Chains A and B, each alone.
Chain A
Amino acid sequence: QQQVKQSPQSLIVQKGGISIINCAYENTAFDYFPWYQQFPGKGPALLIAIRPDVSEKKEGRFTISFNKSAKQFSLHIMDSQPGDSATYFCAASTGSNYKLTFGKGTLLTVNP
């Protein structure tokens, strides 16, 4: 059972465009939702995270939008740059069990 579903699998965006990646979860006990960025040959690195008590969080060009009733959250990358080309993973965890449950990832390519 896949508890966190991520889409799309891959995404191609032009430089300066907006990249949008979506995730949906099933477990209503999840209460922490991070996004990780992974470059080839490297481990995932935390990009931005949100708790369900807010509907949006913005850090620089990266924004998480959170819809608790729909059990969905998304990552928006504004003014996408070629250096943003990487695989992005959404994840979730609960307050009682801090292991992260990851989506399958989205391979983002930003063309110059």
Chain B
Amino acid sequence: GAGVSQTPSNKVTEKGKYVELRCDPISGHTALYWYRQSLGQGPEFLIYFQGTGAADDSGLPNDRFFAVRPEGSVSTLKIQRTERGDSAVYLCASSLTSGLGETQYFGPGTRLLVL
């Protein structure tokens, strides 16, 4: 079946602009995660949704970052007043449940470049 999809695949924006990154999880997966991967680094956790609610947003770096999942499926990561340091690959993952050991399936990521 279809995996996790993310759009756009690439996004170039200017410093100070607002961007939205979209994630379509695997159908039926209740848990959804956002990670950020800087060049040469491992993914870093941003936020985790169980259903519609953000169960853990401890990884969001500051209040310029916000994410929603209004119907418990698609999620949008929103970044206000983008900075050059926000440039990274933003990865979305989903899992069937949030149980320990549940496999997190990752999408291909959105490559964000802030000029």
| Residues on the B chain within 8 Å of A89, using CB | 42-43
A100 and B43 contact, CB distance less than 8 A: yes
Contact with B along A34-55 (1 / 0, CB 8 A): 1010000111111001010000
Asked if A93 is an interface residue, CB under 8 A from chain B, the answer is: yes
A32 on the interface (CB 8 Å rule)?
Answer: yes
Q: Chain A contact residues: over half helix, strand or loop, or mixed? A: strand
A42 to B100, CA, bound (A): 25
Q: How large is the interface on A (under 10, 10 to 19, 20 to 34, 35 or more residues)?
A: 20 to 34
Interface membership of B56, Cβ < 8 A: yes
Residue numbers of B with Cβ under 8 A of A are: 4, 31, 33, 35, 40-45, 48, 56, 59, 91, 93, 95, 98-109
Q: Which residues of A contact B (CB under 8 A)?
A: 4, 6, 31-32, 34, 36, 41-46, 49, 51, 89, 91, 93, 95, 97-105
